[in-house]
Structure 1
């Protein structure tokens, strides 16, 4: 019997076992498969099976190459001699760079929340892009006004699943929330004093909310700050892990959209590099445990400065990108850091780590 003559239920069961990265090939094979693959019931079944069968996690990274930005996926693999390496998908997805006042503008902020990617271009008339990578659907969003030093947050209401975007700036009294379900903006009245808080890096979407590493303008103390999209309010200042040394940079990452990880990068090679992971993380409560510690940075390039990192909890592996040397450092639990220059691939100037990708059937 030809596959075209098989019952729909059997065809659906076969196609549901196809890897998520190959769904584009399925859709282009024939009209019947294209219609089937875009059915929401099939999509949910396909995503569930793919997640259960996945041996490798995909980490999305935005890179620069020529006149375009690209979205690439990176996964960690284990070699036969118990080392770890990086597999970079050469099939990068191009992302439009926006022009503004005669110059090209790069993506300044990016968020990944339940399979939806939000890209923000700085100084570009505040244009936003929401993108479902599984469906290949994009939505462009125009902000009603433009102001300097804008901050964004991306998440969803955990009571109903409604997707939302928060927009604010320390240079403007206005704060706004965009609702994807109604394609509309609404003014938001903040209940905290933004002038006392400095957000040093873009935020990180996690479990429907957005978290920032922030500092107090007067005391210089660092802490986590969260916007709760369900209650539509900012939470209290959450404590960081009990580290006593001074650090050059503090970077955030996510672990399967369930935990938050924080990397403390030291000023010098005589100090330790620490990575901590949350045991519990909510807008009003956090607890920590140490995940990885490098007692001396002398085994790493002297000018090391991390701009992004990701970890695999099961494999006990960390990957850190050195933005000065444009190299990856990868290390397992039992071995020293290895430095990798993935020069054989295009688009390797990685400048923004987005997060661990989990496909979503959500329509936008």
Structure 2
């Protein structure tokens, strides 16, 4: 829905290697990026050296492809884990460290490893922002029931090189409510501190585990639970895996900083 001149201004700053994916976004952008005037403007600018590489390292940590970074106070944070390389003999893989990692855009570098209020190995971990100052993290243990979801909220002191966590915000056993774990590539969420509830976007499954639709799970203290159907029914094929033709999961962005006042 962006006006053409705004879309042209934004897209003209992209590197040429990104234009192929832009053209698949929608018909309007496909037409725009093939326009002669746009091509001239774009060439005048990927020549102005407006883009630069600020990180080119082989770190000793990794971030899973489905982990979505969260922007907060001008920086971006990810859940990261120690790489499974050069592990000392006798080391349990489950002992490898996991941590929070923030990129400082002012210094153009990653900060140090920051502590989390739990230890995870192959479990479900998702980040979200709480307003402009705080970070929330959702943790759900893989494996046997009770499938308890736990959410912590940081204090307002969170920087690329420092973080502190408040006490546990929410702990809910999801087994009797949904009967399944949230997906590691789904499970985006946001929280309402005042109402003491969390809304987790995920995908509902039928009795045999097939994904059927997008859903929002509203969970709170004292057993409060509500599930809202967001649609997107899947048409399964008998010759394909259960989720081979499904739509991508719905994600939520809990906070987008802007200098524009919303009326």
Query: Same fold by TM-score, threshold 0.5 exceeded?
Result: yes
Give the equivalent residue in structure 1 for 2:139: 264
**Aligned 8 A contact 2:217 2:227 in 1:** yes
**Pair 1:340–1:189, CA change in 2 (3 A):** closer
Give the equivalent residue in structure 1 for 2:10: 139
**Aligned 8 A contact 2:201 2:252 in 1:** no
Query: Distance in 1 between the 2:8 and 2:181 partners?
Result: 38
Give the equivalent residue in structure 1 for 2:169: 291
Could you list the structure 1 runs, at least 4 aligned residues long, displaced by more than 6 angstroms after superposition. Answer: none
Q: 1:74-85 residue pairs with structure 2 within 5 A?
A: none
| Residue among 309, 314, 327 paired with 2:194 | 314
**Aligned 8 A contact 1:207 1:257 in 2:** yes
Q: TM-score, normalised by structure 2?
A: 0.61
Matched, 1:302 2:191: no
1:278 Cα deviation from its structure 2 partner = 0.7
1:283 Cα deviation from its structure 2 partner = 0.5
Cα RMSD of the aligned pairs, angstroms, is: 3.1
Query: Distance in 2 between the 1:204 and 1:189 partners?
Result: 18
1:206 Cα deviation from its structure 2 partner = 0.7
Give the equivalent residue in structure 1 for 2:124: 249
Structure 2: segments with no counterpart, 5+ residues: 19-47, 85-92, 206-213, 233-246
Q: TM-score, normalised by structure 1?
A: 0.46
Q: Report 1 or 2 for greater relative contact order, CA contacts < 8 Å, sequence distance ≥ 6.
A: 1
1:186 Cα deviation from its structure 2 partner = 2.1
**Aligned residue pairs, count:** 188
Please identify which structure carries the higher strand content. 1
**Aligned 8 A contact 2:174 2:180 in 1:** no
**Aligned 8 A contact 1:304 1:322 in 2:** no
**Pair 1:245–1:205, CA change in 2 (3 A):** closer
**Pair 1:137–1:274, CA change in 2 (3 A):** farther
Query: Distance in 2 between the 1:340 and 1:189 partners?
Result: 41
Query: Distance in 1 between the 2:97 and 2:159 partners?
Result: 21
1:271 Cα deviation from its structure 2 partner = 4.0
Give the equivalent residue in structure 1 for 2:151: 275
